[in-house]
Chains A and B, each alone.
Chain A
Amino acid sequence: MALHLVAQHCSWECGSELHNPPRHVIWPQSTGVCRCFAVFARSPVSMAMRQTPLTCSGHTRPVVDLAFSGITPYGYFLISACKDGKPMLRQGDTGDWIGTFLGHKGAVWGATLNKEATKAATAAADFTAKVWDAVTGDEVLTLAHKHIVKSVNFTEDSNYLLTGGNDKVLRIYDLSKPEAEPLEIAGHTSAIKKALWCNNDQQILSASEDKTIRLWDKNTKEAVKTLSFDASVSSMEYIPDGEILVITYGRTIAFHNAQSLDLIKAVDAPASIHSASLHPDKDFFVAGGDDFKLYKYDYTTKEEMESYKGHFGPIHCVRFSPDGELYASGSEDGTLRLWQTAVGKTYGLWKCVLPEELTSENSEVLYCPPAEIKA
């Protein structure tokens, strides 16, 4: 809740005395006279607050992928994939580290959690995809591949895992029969960057370096539809509620119907975009890329609303939390940052501080970023 303070002239001059702090402020005028103004707190009107991103440190190399779980009785969780080979699990609303999944022997390119945050899956450059117990951190399964694995995705019931990578083949593993051979779907002519279940886990969407996005039927293993682009797709997000596919390529953020693959709308950003995410209520979307900045756009009007600086390297991934209250970004600088959707609202570690609380002795606030004072 942002505060909009309104000052009303008290109609009398008061010298240097302070009246009933903090309801009145003395505002020195250049004429040398102090005027006294009564200050009233009004209900939230405008965003007069500056965004304070929360930085999650711990990784030592670029963060290349991140994913949120669904909302569980213990909150929601965030997993980050990093080139240091050590994916981490964090509490989603605070960014607090919970644990590190140890076992991969190469850069981790993709990471995902199931809806209940009880299982995690990771895709790595050591030619394996691994399934983990996300509560204990133990490795449950190692799935050997013939090349670097880039993407992993669970079905809604967490029983099947979809993988895709540099060997150009999509694989579906039955997690109740891990010894069995996976179902393979071939067709892409270049490395697969992202593979996602869609349409109630009956179909698969895959984005590849061959500059296509293909929609496959899981049962027939045939490509139902293909979308071609001039450039390689950098990221893909599937929103089941509304059947929207968010795609980024070059400087464009495009929204397609996930079933027909028809274009809904597209927006061009000021710089090359690596990842974008649509808010669950579909009122805005965020995107980040090469210029280190995070952009926030109005989904309906396609207008740029805000841009935030903070990262020290290109942004590789950005995702909204399942409740839409924050979004997380992962960067080449090795950090994850959490950003508020409604700047100034009390949520997670962010606290809305009223002016009285700032001056009172019982203030809970332990850390306040220094305000800019301009003369």
Chain B
Amino acid sequence: MTFILKIHALPVGCSDALALNEQAVYRSSMKTPVSVLRLPRGPEPNSRGFDPSSPRFIALCCSSSSSSDEEEQRLRSELRQRFLWTLSVMRDKLVQFDMHERVRVRARFGASDIDVLRFQVSDLETPLGVQREALLRCQDVLSCSFEL
């Protein structure tokens, strides 16, 4: 607990030289830091946020046609799930990639990164030879096909 003390009136006969000295030291070095109720809340690790139970969300989000939204969401989830299953089944299979500029290459599929930006492949057959290990940029891939 610190205070800035300023002597308002000193009685006659007091050792005022020392008191004033101490006063100067206190004033210059002791600024009380502003207190804080808590720190700002940070992001939740497993959620992108936008809490649907917040007052703002409830007030501003019209829940008209919620049933069709739910149906759409269900279909989207299903498609996403199928896509992810396809990627996992593709592992170690010989896959043909059709890319821009009529490029067609074949390779053994390894894995995809989390944002599906790159595919890790092995033994990539290119016009310049076979590349032992390679990364294919997903933006360049139009389609891929493989035998189940």
CB distance from B8 to the nearest CB of A (A): 5
Q: What are 8 A-B residue pairs whose CB atoms fall within 8 Å in the complex?
A: A7-B7, A49-B32, A50-B31, A100-B43, A137-B50, A352-B34, A352-B35, A365-B37
Give the distance in Å from the alpha carbon of A5 to the alpha carbon of B10 in the complex: 16
Give the distance in Å from the alpha carbon of A39 to the alpha carbon of B5 in the complex: 9
Give the distance in Å from the alpha carbon of A6 to the alpha carbon of B3 in the complex: 9
Give the distance in Å from the alpha carbon of A365 to the alpha carbon of B11 in the complex: 38
A residues within 8 Å of B by Cβ?
4-9, 11, 25, 27, 29-31, 35, 37, 39, 48-52, 54-58, 74, 88-90, 94-102, 105, 118, 135-137, 338, 340, 343-344, 349-353, 355, 358-359, 364-374
Task: Determine the chain B residues whose CB is within 8 A of the CB of A105 once the complex forms.
Answer: 115, 117
Task: Indicate whether A7 sits within 8 Å of B32 (C-beta atoms), given known contacts A96-B40, A98-B49, A135-B61.
Answer: no
B36 partner, pick from A4, A54, A101, beta carbons under 8 A: A54
Task: Determine the chain B residues whose CB is within 8 A of the CB of A50 once the complex forms.
Answer: 31-34
Are A57 and B35 in contact, with the CB atoms below 8 A?
A: no
CB distance from B66 to the nearest CB of A (A): 13
- Which of B11, B35, B50, B56 has most chain A Cβ within 10 Å? B35
Give the distance in Å from the alpha carbon of A50 to the alpha carbon of B33 in the complex: 4
Number of interface residues of B (CB under 8 A): 46
Given contacts A7-B5, A39-B3, A373-B30, 6 further A-B contacts (CB under 8 A): A8-B8, A11-B11, A97-B42, A135-B60, A368-B36, A374-B25
Are B40 and A54 in contact, with the CB atoms below 8 A?
A: yes
Task: Determine the chain B residues whose CB is within 8 A of the CB of A27 once the complex forms.
Answer: 5
Identity of the chain B residue whose Cβ is nearest the Cβ of A118 in the assembled complex: B60
Give the distance in Å from the alpha carbon of A355 to the alpha carbon of B32 in the complex: 11
Are B40 and A95 in contact, with the CB atoms below 8 A?
A: yes
Task: Determine the chain B residues whose CB is within 8 A of the CB of A371 once the complex forms.
Answer: 1-2, 30, 32-33
Are B43 and A58 in contact, with the CB atoms below 8 A?
A: yes
A4 partner, pick from B4, B29, B41, beta carbons under 8 A: B4
CB distance from A71 to the nearest CB of B (A): 14
Are B49 and A56 in contact, with the CB atoms below 8 A?
A: no
Q: Give 8 closest A-B pairs by Cβ, nearest first.
A: A99-B49, A95-B40, A137-B50, A99-B50, A50-B31, A369-B33, A374-B29, A52-B34
Task: Indicate whether A358 sits within 8 Å of B1 (C-beta atoms), given known contacts A6-B8, A54-B40, A97-B42.
Answer: yes
